[in-house]
Chains A and B, each alone.
Chain A
Amino acid sequence: MQYSLQLNGKTHSIEAEPGTPLLWVIRDELKLTGTKFGCGVASCGACTVHLDGEPVRSCQTLIEDVGGSEVTTIEGLESPEAKAVQQAWVELDVVQCGYCQSGQVMSAAGLLKENPKPSAEEIDDYMWGNACRCATYQRIRAGVQRASEIMEA
């Protein structure tokens, strides 16, 4: 099947079988590898992308369901929230192995867009689905709070 995919501000013509997860279109067809394969069952959040600005798990988003929605991957992420998150991540050295961090950044940017000043509990609620096996969670929480400050300044 041919699909027309709006991704990172461009229209891509994609040849894919129906039922193909958006994750594999992004990684294997478009070769944008910032979006990660972690579990394939929407339990880890490493594959998080934005669909019309909202975080979704691309491993459980099928290509035929994307339609005309705009997909944003970490490579195309340019919102003020995203910039603040990435600045905070660097300031606090949030990462360790880093494999989950694209997904963490995508979710954190989504959270701050929805709620620019989240409490610790709101951060935990929103970020719960993004697993980090290195357990960088303390810094993720602090990073979101720092990003919130950066946005306010």
Chain B
Amino acid sequence: MTVHSSRRGFLKGAAAATAVFMVGVRPNGVLAAASAESKMFNPFVKIGSDGSVTAIVKHFEKGQGPATGLPTLIAEELGLRMDQIDYEFAPSNPQVYSNLLFGQFQGTGGSTAMANSFMQYRKAGAAAREMLISAAADEWGVDAAGLRIEEGMVVGAGKSAPIGEFAAGAAGLEPPAEPKLKDPGEFRLIGDPDVRRLDTEIKSNGTAKFAMDLHLPNQMIAVIKRPPRKDGMAVGMDDSGAKAIKGFINAAILPNKAGVAVYAENTWAALQAREALDVEWDMSQAESRSSDEIKAEIIAALSAEPEFNVLKNDHGAINAALDGAATVVEETFYFPLLAHAPMEPLNCTIEATADGGILLHDGCQFPTGPHMALAQIFQLPMEKIRINTMLAGGSFGWRATPDADYQVEAALAFVMTDRSRPVKLVWSREDDIKGGRYRPAFGHKVRVGLDGDGNIVGWDHRIAGQSIMKGTPFEALTVHDGVDHSSVEGVSDTPYRIPGQFVGLTDTQKATSLLWWRSVGHTHTAYVMEVMMDLAAKAAGRDPVEFRLAHLNGEKDQDRMAGVLKLAAEKGNWGRVPEGRAQGVAVHKSFGSYVAEVLEISGNAEDGVRIENVTCAVDCGIAVNPDIVKAQMEGGIGYGIGHVMRDQITLTGGEVDQFNFPDYEPLRISDIQAIDVHIVASQEMPTGVGEPGTPPAAPALANAISAASNNLRVSSLPMAENGVSFA
């Protein structure tokens, strides 16, 4: 993998080496003007005279697989084997590398990497194929129609030569307006379960370079001493203790007073100097609430008239339906704050470039955000700010902040220096856990009414919590008529056929910094929907799978959800529970994909629960890299389960109580004995896989525990709050 230092140098290099061409780049090396048309022919494919092909990957790699998936699309259409293609991460340029589902914004999130790239990257590969064939036809004096590319060779008309021989000729051609794409029946790589990740070897032998691994010559390390509570401000400091630390360089209050930057020659000296620093804080504006107060506000809001009638229907009529129901089941749920805690703590490096610009090295999830923020901070035009996207050691949402917080922090730390030395900002795990942006706390209160046949006749669903999107640049996109869709997604748009569904939402006060967390609103809405479906099924005396299927009939959306449920039930031996075991099931649609999980446990809440196996079925449309889809389901299940077992962030007087992994315990290898994933064959367009595995995992576990533990209701998280212990 090549890391190029700047977009300009990259393009210049491409033009200087005559036998290199990039689709979408004119022969003089100038990008095609940004227009609707150019989006299709962006520079996604680079071909060297030696035949080496590089996919320019516009989505960052945090483990979810685009550094394999996007090259797969190009290799498929171009006619390559997977060992004939490599990847580089795209520079920051929203005109060229935008996420097609985000508007003119370059970024990765919402499980959209494959969904928005599927046609774009295939077309880029197909355009390159047609241009190479056209150049070969010219050179050989034959009809292009008789030529094809197989495994990196142009073949036909009795001839055969490597594609690299035609790269220079192809570079002079106009890209075709509508390159011909393969029929899905012709796919060799898309859907092949044997395609391997392109980044496994470097991640297994220590050579993979994450942003944390960058060592620029003469760099300084900066760590930030942060206020003990959110929104405290540094008003004074004494660094005499820090001066005793060898390698300490300097300390200075950040221009926004959000903390004190501590500069040192190396990371250990920086961490030690920070410990030795005395800071005077102005805490008058700082957060002072405890998590108990946050919870009390949320629970109280659930019993008051909701602020928003999300579906704009007649609440009175639905209440009447519930009043007339044969049976009503009711439950209140609470979800605590959660930290993301990716393995690689946040970090990035900023340096000044020889041309007066700024270069950011970052495992960058949302390049456009920090790009604009840095342009503002450094008072530079956009083209003077460049971003080198490096591998990211996880994110789960953390690296995508609406205000580019950690990159801004690094920029402020850099602005205060003479800019002669690169500044590498490093967060410790304590910074991460204590200073995180958290999955907001949410509460739900639900009443479900059943008729005499055990069918749903009314569903009164109240949600209260802290909006993620309000007050961010994403508000216009995601908040409509006051309703933050991310607070109600998975409830208000459930595929279940629910007659008489009322959804009420109340926004509560924001108490801490909040952020989307793997699967966003579905982290709590799926849990509530699927635990309620189980409670309703039990109240109706019906099998939980049969009950769900009875409320999933009629439309395609429902059929696909029913499809994964049936598959998971079949593969997970639903209803055939071995002695000493119990099962739970959940199914949920998120990010366009349908996932069902059957989870089997031994033990019970009192004696200790052991998760024996999880059987998962997923319908994500065309599974481009089936093994990566499986891996994302496995990981998503683990992420969902790990947190409900034992994790929460709590506040006492505004201060975060947890500090590091010992009290924010990650899922461990022994927590889940087996996971088995099945993919539904589909010709639908690809949808998300990074997040959809997470939402059904926790409710499937809750339902299994309930089945094993005298119908114990596991409705307040983490599960220990309900007296659940784990073996």
Write the residues of chain A forming the contact surface with B, with a CB cutoff of 8 angstroms: 17, 20-21, 24, 27-29, 31-41, 43-44, 46, 73-75, 77, 85-86, 89-90, 93-102, 105, 120, 123-125, 127-128, 130-141
Q: Would A36 and B212 count as touching, CB distance under 8 A?
A: yes
Instruction: Find the A residue at minimum CB distance from B675.
Output: A138
Q: Would B635 and A136 count as touching, CB distance under 8 A?
A: yes
Instruction: Find the B residue at minimum CB distance from A82.
Output: B205
Instruction: Tell which of B61, B271, B343, B430 touches A131, judged by Cβ atoms closer than 8 Å.
Output: B343
Given the known inter-chain contacts A35-B206, A128-B669, A131-B661, please indicate yes or no for A136 contacting B634, CB distance below 8 A.
yes
The 3 closest A-B pairs by CB, nearest first: A34-B206, A135-B638, A99-B393
Q: Does B639 contact A (CB under 8 A)?
A: yes
**Interface-side segment among B196-204, B476-484, B509-517, B564-572:** B196-204
Instruction: Find the A residue at minimum CB distance from B245.
Output: A17
Instruction: Find the B residue at minimum CB distance from A129.
Output: B668
Question: Separation in Å of the A5 CB from the closest CB of chain B?
Answer: 15
Q: Would B344 and A137 count as touching, CB distance under 8 A?
A: no
B508 partner residues in chain A, CB cutoff 8 A = none
Given the known inter-chain contacts A102-B206, A137-B669, please indicate yes or no for A43 contacting B199, CB distance below 8 A.
no
Q: Would B205 and A97 count as touching, CB distance under 8 A?
A: no
Instruction: Tell which of B208, B345, B395 touches A37, judged by Cβ atoms closer than 8 Å.
Output: B345
Q: Does B666 contact A (CB under 8 A)?
A: yes
Please, what's the 1-or-0 string for B390-401, where 1 marks a CB less than 8 Å from any CB in chain A? 011111100000
Please, what's the 1-or-0 string for B331-371, where 1 marks a CB less than 8 Å from any CB in chain A? 00000000001111100000000000000000000000000
Q: Would B63 and A98 count as touching, CB distance under 8 A?
A: yes
A125 partner residues in chain B, CB cutoff 8 A = 670
Q: Would B215 and A93 count as touching, CB distance under 8 A?
A: no
Instruction: Tell which of A74, A75, A99 touches B343, judged by Cβ atoms closer than 8 Å.
Output: A99
Instruction: Tell which of A28, A73, A85, A89 touches B200, judged by Cβ atoms closer than 8 Å.
Output: A89
Q: Would B206 and A73 count as touching, CB distance under 8 A?
A: yes
Q: Would A139 and B199 count as touching, CB distance under 8 A?
A: no
A5-B45 Cα distance, complex, nearest whole Å = 46
Q: Would A100 and B343 count as touching, CB distance under 8 A?
A: yes
Q: Does B184 contact A (CB under 8 A)?
A: no
Q: Would A36 and B343 count as touching, CB distance under 8 A?
A: yes
Instruction: Tell which of A38, A75, A134 touches B206, judged by Cβ atoms closer than 8 Å.
Output: A75
Most buried by B among A37, A133, A139: A133
Q: Does B106 contact A (CB under 8 A)?
A: no
Q: Would A86 and B204 count as touching, CB distance under 8 A?
A: yes
A99-B61 Cα distance, complex, nearest whole Å = 12
Q: Would B199 and A95 count as touching, CB distance under 8 A?
A: yes
Question: Separation in Å of the A96 CB from the closest CB of chain B?
Answer: 3
Question: Separation in Å of the B657 CB from the closest CB of chain A?
Answer: 16
Question: Separation in Å of the B71 CB from the closest CB of chain A?
Answer: 15
Q: Would B345 and A90 count as touching, CB distance under 8 A?
A: no
Contacts A28-B266, A46-B343 known; 16 new A-B pairs at CB < 8 A: A24-B268, A27-B267, A33-B210, A38-B343, A74-B205, A74-B206, A89-B204, A90-B200, A95-B63, A97-B392, A97-B394, A98-B203, A124-B670, A134-B63, A135-B637, A135-B667
A32-B207 Cα distance, complex, nearest whole Å = 9
Most buried by B among A17, A124, A134: A134
A38 partner residues in chain B, CB cutoff 8 A = 343-345, 429
Q: Would A41 and B268 count as touching, CB distance under 8 A?
A: no
A34-B206 Cα distance, complex, nearest whole Å = 4
Question: Separation in Å of the A104 CB from the closest CB of chain B?
Answer: 9
A35-B208 Cα distance, complex, nearest whole Å = 11
Q: Would B634 and A138 count as touching, CB distance under 8 A?
A: yes
A132 partner residues in chain B, CB cutoff 8 A = 343, 666, 669
Q: Does B546 contact A (CB under 8 A)?
A: no
Q: Does B144 contact A (CB under 8 A)?
A: no
A44 partner residues in chain B, CB cutoff 8 A = 343, 429, 661, 666
Question: Separation in Å of the A135 CB from the closest CB of chain B?
Answer: 2
Chain B count of residues within 8 A CB distance of the other chain: 65
Q: Would B660 and A135 count as touching, CB distance under 8 A?
A: no
A28-B199 Cα distance, complex, nearest whole Å = 24
Most buried by B among A39, A46, A99, A123: A99
A44-B342 Cα distance, complex, nearest whole Å = 11
A94-B639 Cα distance, complex, nearest whole Å = 16
A140 partner residues in chain B, CB cutoff 8 A = 669
A33-B199 Cα distance, complex, nearest whole Å = 17
B578 partner residues in chain A, CB cutoff 8 A = none
A-B contact pairs, 11 of them (CB 8 A): A36-B344, A85-B204, A96-B394, A97-B63, A97-B392, A97-B395, A99-B212, A101-B203, A128-B668, A133-B341, A136-B631
Q: Does B451 contact A (CB under 8 A)?
A: no
Q: Would B215 and A33 count as touching, CB distance under 8 A?
A: yes
B342 partner residues in chain A, CB cutoff 8 A = 97, 99, 133
B271 partner residues in chain A, CB cutoff 8 A = 40
Q: Would B200 and A95 count as touching, CB distance under 8 A?
A: yes
Q: Would B669 and A124 count as touching, CB distance under 8 A?
A: yes
A100 partner residues in chain B, CB cutoff 8 A = 343, 393
Please, what's the 1-or-0 string for B178-203, where 1 marks a CB less than 8 Å from any CB in chain A? 00000000000000000011011111
A21-B267 Cα distance, complex, nearest whole Å = 11
Q: Would A41 and B344 count as touching, CB distance under 8 A?
A: no
A120-B673 Cα distance, complex, nearest whole Å = 9
A93-B201 Cα distance, complex, nearest whole Å = 9
Q: Does B662 contact A (CB under 8 A)?
A: yes
Q: Would A128 and B666 count as touching, CB distance under 8 A?
A: no
Q: Would A41 and B661 count as touching, CB distance under 8 A?
A: yes
Q: Would A128 and B200 count as touching, CB distance under 8 A?
A: no
Instruction: Tell which of A17, A32, A102, A131 touches B246, judged by Cβ atoms closer than 8 Å.
Output: A17
Given the known inter-chain contacts A28-B268, A93-B197, please indicate yes or no for A41 contacting B666, CB distance below 8 A.
no
Instruction: Tell which of B205, B637, B639, B661 touches A39, judged by Cβ atoms closer than 8 Å.
Output: B661
Q: Would B394 and A99 count as touching, CB distance under 8 A?
A: yes
B662 partner residues in chain A, CB cutoff 8 A = 41, 43
A31-B394 Cα distance, complex, nearest whole Å = 22
Given the known inter-chain contacts A93-B200, A96-B64, please indicate yes or no for A34 contacting B660, CB distance below 8 A.
no
A73 partner residues in chain B, CB cutoff 8 A = 206
A132-B391 Cα distance, complex, nearest whole Å = 16
Instruction: Find the A residue at minimum CB distance from B426.
Output: A37
Q: Does B16 contact A (CB under 8 A)?
A: no
A101-B199 Cα distance, complex, nearest whole Å = 12
Instruction: Find the A residue at minimum CB distance from B668.
Output: A128
A91-B439 Cα distance, complex, nearest whole Å = 35
Q: Would A133 and B343 count as touching, CB distance under 8 A?
A: yes
Q: Does B305 contact A (CB under 8 A)?
A: no
